[in-house]
């Protein structure tokens, strides 16, 4: 388990700078199993020709028709397809960090793995604040105060393979609207320096979040972040979990109740996908957002 010193340091850094890094969050034996299961999940996702959805479960696919090769770039709520990932989302180490921030009753609104395959091109993320993805603000008492996001490095994350980039203390600047222009697509194009300058951020303020496998980074809904595409020859997998205070949120899947891990129920709950209940059946989504 994490030491009290590591927890205190992470909480202090999170409050001061809008993010925190926890080294060696996941021990080697658990990391090896996570890497193995992530590789299996990727192969399952690649069996689908285009993006596949079933309830909250999603495999986001770039099809060979447009990319010359089939790529999986994201998976959402794969806990519905694999009991290992259902159990992993309530790993007690997460609670050690969550409890001082949002308490012992916790729901999860995001479960994602981002892959950055070499050659896929569309693997960068324009700079943004995650508040833009919380469309139903009335579903939360205070969504900014009560949300914590955690990114776990499954593979080594470096500037060469498109590691996370963060602007420290940007959580104090209010909502900046970065990447909200046009169609608001954050995986098409890259943020230019003058876009940052226009909202009061100098490009020199941006830092690379370099992580070894098993390291964790924590950030909030107002923290400005993004990344560049993978320019290396190695794939990078990164697991994202976003949690909310259970007592103040109508959204999310229960993860901890009074500190006790919770498995998924019989049917999916509304998390972020506003269209969830429009079609709960397995189906393909051939929307060509990438064109």
Please report the sign of the dihedral spanned by the C-alpha atoms of residue 187, residue 139, residue 147, residue 113. negative
Return phi, psi of residue 6, to 5°.
Answer: -65, -40
Distances (CA, A) of 32 to 28, 66, 215: 6, 34, 13
Rounded Cα distance, 36 and 15, in Å: 34
Continuous H helices in 18-71? 28-45, 64-67
Pairing of strands 19-22, 216-219: antiparallel
Is 136 or 164 the better-scoring residue by pLDDT? Answer: 164
Query: For the chain, what percent of residues have pLDDT higher than 70?
Result: 99
Model pLDDT, residue 195 = 95
pLDDT attached to residue 277: 87
Q: How confident is the model at residue 275 (pLDDT cuts 50, 70, 90)?
A: confident
Whole-number average pLDDT of the chain: 96
**Nearest one of 70, 66, 68 to 47, comparing CA atoms:** 70
Distance from C-alpha of 140 to C-alpha of 244, rounded to nearest angstrom: 9
Q: How far apart are CA 197 and CA 42, in angstroms?
A: 38
Residue 48 CA, chain-centre distance (Å), reads 22
Give the pLDDT score at 121.
Answer: 86
Instruction: Find all residues with CB under 8 Å of 265, minimum gap 6, and list them.
Output: 253, 254
Instruction: List, in order, residues 6 or more apart from 259 with CB less than 8 Å away.
Output: 95, 99, 104
> Residue 279 contacts by C-beta under 8 Å, 6 or more apart in sequence?
53
Give the pLDDT confidence score for residue 183 in this predicted structure: 67
Q: In terms of Cα–Cα distance, which of 286, 152, 154, 273 is closest to 218?
A: 152
| Res 182 pLDDT > 70 | no
Q: Classify residue 270 as exposed, middle or buried by CB count within 10 Å of its CB (0-12, 13-18, 19+).
A: middle
CA angle 32, 34, 20 (to 5 degrees): 100
Domain segments of the chain: what residues? 4-264
Supply the pLDDT for residue 165.
98
Q: Which secondary structure element, helix H or strand E, spans residue 170, and what is its range?
A: none
Rounded distance, CA 212 to CA 73, Å?
20
* Per-residue pLDDT, 220: 98
CATH architecture, domain 4-264:
Sandwich (2.60)
Tokens of 284: 């393909």
Model pTM? 0.96
Report the alpha-carbon distance of residue 244 to residue 3 in Å, rounded. Answer: 23
| Secondary structure of residue 261 in the 3-state scheme | strand
| 117 in Cβ contact with 68 (< 8 Å) | no
pLDDT digits (tens, 9 = 90+) for 213-224: 999 999 999 999
End-to-end CA distance of the chain: 45
Predicted confidence (pLDDT) per residue in 49-58, tens digit: 999 999 999 9
Tokens of 4: 């009290």
Banded model confidence at residue 272, pLDDT cuts 50, 70, 90: confident
Q: How many CA atoms lie within 13 A of 266 on its CB side?
A: 0
């Amino acid at each position: 388990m994490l030491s009290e010193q590591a927890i205190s340091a992470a909480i202090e850094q999170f409050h001061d700078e809008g993010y925190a890094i926890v080294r060696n969050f996941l021990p080697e034996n658990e990391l090896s199993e996570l890497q193995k299961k992530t590789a299996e999940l990727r192969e399952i996702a690649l069996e689908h020709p285009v993006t596949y959805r079933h309830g909250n479960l999603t495999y986001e696919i770039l099809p060979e028709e447009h990319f010359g090769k089939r790529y999986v770039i994201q998976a959402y709520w794969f806990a519905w397809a694999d009991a290992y990932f259902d159990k992993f989302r309530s790993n007690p180490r997460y609670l050690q960090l969550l409890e001082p921030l949002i308490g012992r009753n916790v729901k999860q609104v995001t479960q994602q793995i981002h892959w950055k395959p070499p050659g896929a091109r569309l693997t960068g993320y324009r700079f943004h604040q995650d508040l833009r993805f919380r469309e139903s603000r009335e579903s939360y008492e205070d969504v900014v105060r009560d949300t914590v996001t955690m990114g776990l490095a499954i593979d080594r994350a470096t500037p060469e393979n498109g590691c996370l980039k963060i602007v420290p203390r940007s959580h104090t600047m209010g909502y900046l609207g970065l990447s909200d222009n046009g169609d608001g697509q954050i995986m098409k194009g890259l943020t230019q320096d003058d876009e940052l300058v226009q909202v009061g951020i100098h490009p020199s303020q941006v830092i690379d979040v370099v992580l070894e496998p098993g390291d964790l980074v924590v950030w909030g809904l107002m923290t400005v972040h993004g990344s560049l595409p993978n320019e290396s020859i190695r794939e990078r997998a990164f697991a994202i979990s976003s949690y909310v205070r259970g007592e103040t949120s109508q959204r999310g899947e229960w993860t901890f109740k009074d500190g006790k891990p919770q498995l998924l129920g019989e049917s999916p709950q509304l998390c972020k996908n506003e269209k969830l209940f429009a079609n709960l059946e397995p189906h393909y989504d051939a929307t060509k957002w990438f064109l």
